[in-house]
Amino acid sequence: MTRHAAVLGSPIAHSLSPVLHRAAYAALGLTDWAYDAHQVDEASLPDFLSGLDASWAGLSLTMPLKRAVIPLLDEVSATARAVEAVNTVLFAEDGSRTGTNTDVPGLVNALAERGVTRAASAAVLGAGATASSALSALSGIAKGEVEVYIRNRARDAEVHAIAEAVGTTVRIRDWTDAAAAFECELVIGTTPAGATDELATAVPPTPGTLFDVLYHPWPTPLAAAWSARGGAVLGGLDLLVHQAVLQVELMTGRAPAPVAAMRAAGEAALGGR
């Protein structure tokens, strides 16, 4: 029997998840595993889930499903509950559904791969689902208060609630002051494409580490300017690979997942776009 897994979202055509997971299956010799992408929105998610049979091992979720799926699950991990975002669903033999979040440990592992395990100061640009994961990741990395720069100050209370749930102390600042974030040792950008382009000219002479979670187009103007000044830069592919590594291990039960093969496949796919 073929074992099935897939990524769901809307839109979904741009997703690199099939490339990464299929590369892992090939490297692990899992010839009886299949991984596809399905266009699924919040309205169609319940019917999609109810239509899956026993051949399904798990799902990867992207926007707008990370929060919408929570009421449809039998169990949710503490991390996913705290950040209110599930990006991975695992199916047990009895058909029960468990939701977890591999974005948080994926962020931590990607930074650790570059030698960043502690930061004297840290900032997050944005206040969406990925920003919540970043705040959780920073709970074990940032030594002090994390600065969070957001456009919509109506979300202040929500950000504070997430920060409290994950054990991170934050100070919310207005987006008009976002350039001040660059004085921090570690900056995590979680905003949509184009949102930080205007900040590229504000990169200081000796920047620290930038983790810009975008991956296409790459590099972003901010990442290019950061790198040009000699700062360390991580991109969205780093996060995609490390969160997918954990998904592969959880879904297949095979560890360690082939990080190098997955990264190479992702780089090749992006190079062809």
Long-range CB pairs of 89-95, under 8 A, 24+ apart, other chains included: 89/58, 89/59, 89/61, 90/57, 90/58, 90/250, 90/251, 91/52, 91/56, 91/57, 91/58, 93/54, 95/54
142-159 burial: b if 16+ Cβ within 10 Å, else e: beeebbbbbeeeebeeeb
Compute the C-alpha angle 56/25/76, nearest 5°: 45
Q: What's the Cα-to-Cα distance from 52 to each of 6, 26, 253, rounded to whole Å?
A: 11, 24, 20
Catalytic (active site) residue 66:
yes
C-alpha 27/C-alpha 49 separation (Å) is 29
Exactly one of 4, 21, 66, 242 is catalytic; name it.
Answer: 66
**C-alpha 214: how far from its chain's center?**
10
Active centre residues (catalytic): 66
